């Protein structure tokens, strides 16, 4: 039951992190950009999502390390690829947070997140 709960937390945190990026990129930002007085509102939404994302990343790191230890994945090649993607994603998130409104960094973060999730799914079979 404990390990099932950790997997559940891991998946929920991933869903928040990836789903939030999709929601912002494809719905919130395009709609709000149509209104001339909305850049400040977009910034507020992005900052709030950023705080949630940091929490989700913390949950992902904690649960991921626990699960990797439990399933003895640390020396497994595909898991190490995923860890490389996790590190790259975290770096991209922090660079994006310090550089602000860079479409390139948003895109890089999104692509790295997708690749990380794919690598994680690949570990399940």
pLDDT for 112-121, tens place per residue?
Answer: 999 999 999 9
pTM of the model: 0.88
Q: Six-digit token pair at 65?
A: 């390390």
Cα torsion for 112, 92, 43, 30, to the nearest 10°?
-30
pLDDT for 64-114, tens place per residue?
Answer: 999 999 999 999 999 999 999 999 999 998 898 887 677 888 889 999 999
d(CA 49, CA 54): 9
Q: Quick check: 37 pLDDT over 70?
A: no
d(CA 113, CA 124): 17
Sign of the alpha-carbon dihedral angle for 90, 95, 97, 101: negative
- The whole domain housing 7 covers 2-122
Number of domains in the chain: 1
């Amino acid at each position: 039951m404990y390990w099932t709960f950790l997997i559940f937390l891991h998946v929920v945190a991933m869903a928040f992190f990836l789903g939030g990026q999709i929601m912002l990129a494809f719905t919130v930002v395009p709609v709000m950009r149509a209104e001339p007085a909305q850049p400040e509102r977009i910034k507020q939404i992005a900052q709030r999502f950023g705080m949630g994302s940091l929490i989700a990343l913390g949950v992902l790191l904690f649960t991921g390390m626990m699960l990797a230890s439990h399933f003895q994945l640390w020396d497994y090649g595909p898991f190490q690829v995923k860890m490389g993607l996790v590190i790259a994603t975290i770096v991209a998130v922090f660079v994006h947070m310090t550089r602000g409104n860079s479409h390139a960094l948003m895109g890089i973060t999104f692509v790295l997140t997708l690749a990380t999730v794919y690598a994680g799914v690949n570990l399940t079979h």
